[in-house]
Amino acid sequence: MADGRLTRDFGRIARYGRRMSEVRLTTPSFLVLGIIDKLGEASPYDVKVEAARTVAPFWSMPHAQVYAQCDRLLEAGLLSEVRQSGGRNRRLMRLTDEGAAALRGWLADPAFVPVEARERGILKLWFGASPRVHAPVQIEEHRRTLDGYEELAGDVGELLTRGQREALEFGIRYERMMVDFWQWVESREP
Amino acid sequence: MADGRLTRDFGRIARYGRRMSEVRLTTPSFLVLGIIDKLGEASPYDVKVEAARTVAPFWSMPHAQVYAQCDRLLEAGLLSEVRQSGGRNRRLMRLTDEGAAALRGWLADPAFVPVEARERGILKLWFGASPRVHAPVQIEEHRRTLDGYEELAGDVGELLTRGQREALEFGIRYERMMVDFWQWVESREP
DNA sequence: GGGGGATCATCTGCATCGGACGCTCCACAG
DNA sequence: CTGTGGAGCGTCCGATGCAGATGATCCCCC
């Protein structure tokens, strides 16, 4: 084995936009672009709130990151500042043509990046933790989020776009799978 | 809503060992501790290779990190250097009592940390990418890793510890779920 | 006795993390 | 009015994590 494939390939850097000061575009970059695209026009704060409201279960960023990304994207010319309303320097931003192109390029790119399931519970199992201790907590928590998702699907399911509905469906299946899995773990004879 | 819960709670820092220069123990720390515990005695390189061989699908670290973690853990007194065999400074390390206690504490702690499913594919769906483009690739790739896991389970299933077998089962269920999900996405009428 | 590939380790530069801190605005009480 | 407190909004910093390049040492085989 060549020097072990230990890394995560988190990056898979893209450079769809071809202009200006050459930034590396990472997934968080596209998260910001995607949200601003949805909102049309937004301040960093709007982005942050919207991210927390929507995509956080799939990909969250700490607050400070949002501002940093916006700076980077502005500098790279993928976003443009629309206006500064007075005192509080509230920057409203839009996608530039380059920004829109970059987003489209990313969305269209089917490149597969293998995921790791960063489940601490599973890791603990691997290292020999007691299923007795962990299973009940896991089942309870996954059931809770599963309920939340299902309620969401029932309540606002109609209002979602197709893609959003599908992402939600993924969440539901994931949580259902986890509940089943931990029940299976619990039920094994010791 | 108070200032949005946007963050990931990646940390959930622990401090089970109570000695010395106060390090923050993160999941990677316990990964290293867990592996050294399994191996009994190991150099950073051994840890890195073992990690790549085993837990990488659940939690991988880039090479450099392993060395950094070892340094931190040594300094904190959770690991001890056993010997330096000559020229190439090959440090062999063991868990100290504190290290073993820290690991036990972590393993016993059922605290639930919500996962994010950092699936780029799902994120792209959310933002409106075309299922037509992505589904076939995703199905293919997930099926491939699923096959790999199942083969593994067949081949060496007997040799694994209970926890390892369970972790593998998780992998299988996860991949199976993904294949089903993307097939469902693909099959929806447009 | 020296080339070359596997083994082992480190450095560097950047992205990201989390949490604390600091503004601005507005509501409402005094 | 004036003051004060909390929600809305933004920034900073130290620690950690990341990817890849690069540097050494070993050992096999010629």
A79 domain residue, yes or no = yes
Q: Residue B27: which of A8, A120, A167 has the nearest Cβ?
A: A120
Domain that holds residue B160: 120-187
pLDDT of residue B27: 93
For residues A135 and A100, state if they share a domain. Answer: no
For residues A57 and A88, state if they share a domain. Answer: yes
CATH number, domain of A45, equals 1.10.10.10
Residue ranges of E strands in chain A: 79-85, 90-95
For residues B103 and B132, state if they share a domain. Answer: no
Find residues 6-65 of chain B whose CB sits inside 8 Å of chain A: 6-8, 27, 30-31, 34, 37-38, 48-49, 51-63
For residues B95 and B124, state if they share a domain. Answer: no
A22 domain residue, yes or no = no
For residues B92 and B124, state if they share a domain. Answer: no
Residues lying close to strand D (Cβ under 7 A), chosen from 48-67 of chain B, are 61-65
pLDDT of residue B86: 53
- Evaluate if residue B82 carries a pLDDT over 80: no
B145 domain residue, yes or no = yes
Tell me which residues of chain A have a pLDDT lower than 70: 1-22, 83-89
For residues A103 and A124, state if they share a domain. Answer: no
Nearest to B166 by CA among A160, A148, A130, A169: A130
Q: Which residue has the higher pLDDT, B92 or B20?
A: B92
Rounded average pLDDT over B79-85: 76
B183 domain residue, yes or no = yes
The burial class, CB within 10 Å (0-12 / 13-18 / 19+), for B122 is buried
**Count of the separate structural domains present in chain A:** 2
pLDDT of residue B24: 84
pLDDT of residue A89: 59
For residues A104 and A151, state if they share a domain. Answer: no
For residues B161 and B182, state if they share a domain. Answer: yes
* C-alpha span between A68 and A53 (Å, rounded): 20
For residues B99 and B129, state if they share a domain. Answer: no
Asked if B159 reaches chain A (Cβ–Cβ under 8 Å), the answer is: no
> Across the A/B interface, how many CB contacts are shorter than 8 Å?
222
The label of the residue with tokens 């007075």 reads A86
Structural element, H or E, at residue A163: helix A162-187
The domain boundary, picked from A65, A86, A108, lies at A108
For residues B34 and B100, state if they share a domain. Answer: yes
B71 domain residue, yes or no = yes
Q: Any idea of the CA torsion for B34, B38, B43, B44, to the nearest 10 degrees? A: -30
pLDDT in tens, B135-188: 999 999 999 999 999 999 998 878 899 999 999 999 999 999 999 999 999 999
Q: B5 pLDDT band (50/70/90 cuts)?
A: very low
The domain boundary, picked from A108, A130, A157, lies at A108
- Evaluate if residue B127 carries a pLDDT over 60: yes
B6 domain residue, yes or no = no
For residues B132 and B167, state if they share a domain. Answer: yes
A180 domain residue, yes or no = yes
The domain boundary, picked from A48, A80, A108, lies at A108
For residues B150 and B180, state if they share a domain. Answer: yes
